[in-house]
């Protein structure tokens, strides 16, 4: 079976490529390398000892997509490609809607033309907005997003669902990720944010390694056990196996199916900091800062549906997530920028 992985050089995409190759899928990647490095794919080959086909291309480029579908017999698309910086999306709505929505419309047009109607999409817990219930089940209604990035996920879920309504031969699996952290245990691939990180774990690892002076914790007056926000952190390698589980499901002609990919366990920001210190023995200085706009107090999943229907559940705990994030950071202090010397 041949899988087209859009955005396959990125953080989650590269970890998923490993799982696909390890499960004997043929892998074709398209990525414009806007937020990633080709070195990640070289590392994927090194880790697995297997090859994949790479197109440096843009999903905004219809000709590129047509060419890929002409040259490969694609059975299913796993669609990661997109812009993902929440804060940036507020100042650049056009860029986010154009890249994420137009790019995805191009993709499904190329899929339609090629007769490929199996799609697994990287959605996000952000579509729940301020969740109506905790833990969040898939039946929980979608909420109001607080930024254009979130709306692109919200809208794309609807667009892909409508494709199935119009033509029931389409199979669409919407995977709503919670908070991916960690890295491949080899330390060869991991998250490589540009500039100062927006997300918690890369910020922590950069403080731990001395690139940043201290962590600012956004808010300690939330209605949570210790006053800091609670999230469902999931190891990126668990997320990767979730995609292989979804591929098995899509072969059963599942129609539209939605799954949370989380652990079902919530950790506060302070829990994460303390677990990081315990797992690595490295201190992380922090101070409390005002709340960050758009943050919801609590967001964690019910992971029951994925377990029941996909036979999938997360295996790694918070300490392993911290250990592997730190291992990646230590081995690659400048991400893939300095990776060539390894």
Is 12 among the residues that bind ligand NAD (CB under 6 A)? Answer: yes
Q: How far apart are CA 187 and CA 324, in angstroms?
A: 7
What part of residues 243-262 is at the interface with ligand UFG (CB under 6 A)? none
Question: Which one of the spans 55-63, 86-94, 203-211, 281-289 is the region binding ligand NAD (CB under 6 A)?
Answer: 55-63
Binder to ligand NAD among 3, 4, 5, 13 (CB under 6 A)? 13
258 by DSSP, 3-state: which? strand
**Which residues are paired to 54 by β-bridges?**
29
Min separation Cβ 39 and ligand NAD, Å: 12
Catalytic residue among 11, 25, 96, 149: 149
Binder to ligand UFG among 164, 292, 305, 307 (CB under 6 A)? 292
Binder to ligand UFG among 9, 29, 119, 200 (CB under 6 A)? 200
Q: Which is nearer to ligand NAD, 103 or 135 (CB)?
A: 103
Residue 300 known to be catalytic: no
Q: Which is nearer to ligand NAD, 180 or 266 (CB)?
A: 180
Check: CB of residue 176 under 8 Å from CB of residue 259: yes
> What are the angstrom distances between the C-alpha of 6 and each of 9, 53, 100, 152?
8, 12, 12, 16
Is 198 among the residues that bind ligand UFG (CB under 6 A)? Answer: yes
Q: How far apart are CA 80 and CA 259, in angstroms?
A: 16
The DSSP bridge pattern shows strands 267-268 and 230-231 to be: antiparallel
Min separation Cβ 191 and ligand NAD, Å: 7
> What are the angstrom distances between the C-alpha of 185 and each of 73, 188, 326?
32, 8, 10
Which helix H or strand E contains 30, and what residues bound it? strand 26-31
Is 84 among the residues that bind ligand UFG (CB under 6 A)? Answer: yes
Binder to ligand NAD among 1, 2, 23, 34 (CB under 6 A)? 34
234 by DSSP, 3-state: which? strand
Question: Which one of the spans 62-70, 198-206, 274-282, 318-326 is the region binding ligand UFG (CB under 6 A)?
Answer: 198-206
With CB under 5 to 8 Å by kind, the binding choice for 249 among ligand NAD, ligand UFG, none is none
What part of residues 132-191 is at the interface with ligand UFG (CB under 6 A)? 178-179
Sequence-distant (≥ 6) Cβ neighbours of residue 261 within 8 angstroms: 175, 176, 177, 178, 234, 238, 239, 242, 301, 303, 306, 314
Q: How far apart are CA 104 and CA 6, in angstroms?
A: 10
Binding residues for ligand NAD, how many (CB under 6 A)?
27
- Tokens 């998923």, residue located: 16
Give per-residue burial for 80-99: e unless 16+ CB within 10 Å, then b.
bbbbbbbeebeebeeebbeb
Is 190 among the residues that bind ligand NAD (CB under 6 A)? Answer: no
Sequence-distant (≥ 6) Cβ neighbours of residue 206 within 8 angstroms: 197, 212, 329
Is 270 among the residues that bind ligand UFG (CB under 6 A)? Answer: no
With CB under 5 to 8 Å by kind, the binding choice for 242 among ligand UFG, ligand NAD, none is none
Is 80 among the residues that bind ligand UFG (CB under 6 A)? Answer: no
Binder to ligand NAD among 21, 29, 81, 258 (CB under 6 A)? 81
**Residues near ligand NAD, by CB under 6 A:** 7, 9-13, 30-36, 58-60, 80-84, 99, 103, 122, 124, 177, 180
Q: Which residues are catalytic, by number? A: 149
């Amino acid at each position: 079976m041949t899988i087209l992985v859009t955005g396959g050089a990125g953080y989650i995409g590269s970890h998923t490529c490993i799982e696909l190759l390890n499960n004997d899928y043929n892998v074709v990647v398209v990525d414009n390398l806007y937020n990633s490095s080709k070195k990640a794919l070289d590392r994927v080959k090194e880790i697995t000892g297997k090859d994949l086909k790479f197109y440096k291309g843009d999903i905004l480029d219809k000709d590129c997509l047509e060419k890929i579908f002409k040259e490969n017999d694609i059975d299913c698309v796993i669609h990661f490609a997109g812009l993902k910086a929440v804060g940036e999306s507020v100042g650049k709505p056009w860029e986010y809607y154009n890249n994420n929505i137009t790019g995805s419309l191009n993709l499904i047009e190329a899929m339609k033309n090629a007769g490929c109607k199996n799609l697994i999409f990287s959605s996000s817990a952000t579509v729940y907005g301020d969740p109506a219930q905790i833990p969040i089940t898939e039946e929980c209604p979608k909420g109001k997003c607080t930024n254009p990035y979130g709306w692109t996920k919200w809208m794309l879920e609807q667009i892909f669902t409508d494709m199935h309504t119009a033509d029931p031969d389409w199979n669409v699996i919407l995977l709503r990720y919670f908070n991916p952290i960690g890295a491949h245990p080899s330390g060869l691939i991991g998250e490589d944010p540009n500039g100062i990180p927006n997300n918690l774990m890369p910020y922590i690892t950069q403080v731990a390694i001395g690139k940043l002076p201290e962590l600012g914790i956004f808010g300690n007056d939330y209605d949570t056990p210790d006053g800091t926000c609670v999230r469902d952190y999931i190891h990126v390698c668990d997320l990767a196996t979730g995609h292989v589980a979804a591929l098995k499901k899509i072969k059963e002609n599942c129609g539209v199916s939605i799954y949370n990919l989380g652990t079902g366990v919530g950790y506060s920001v302070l829990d994460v900091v303390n677990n990081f210190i315990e797992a690595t023995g490295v201190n992380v200085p922090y101070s409390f800062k005002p709340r960050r706009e758009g943050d919801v107090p609590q967001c964690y999943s019910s992971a029951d549906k994925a377990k029941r229907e996909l036979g999938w559940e997360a295996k790694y705990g918070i300490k392993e997530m911290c250990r592997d994030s730190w291992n990646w950071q230590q081995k690659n202090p400048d991400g893939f920028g300095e990776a060539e010397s390894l």
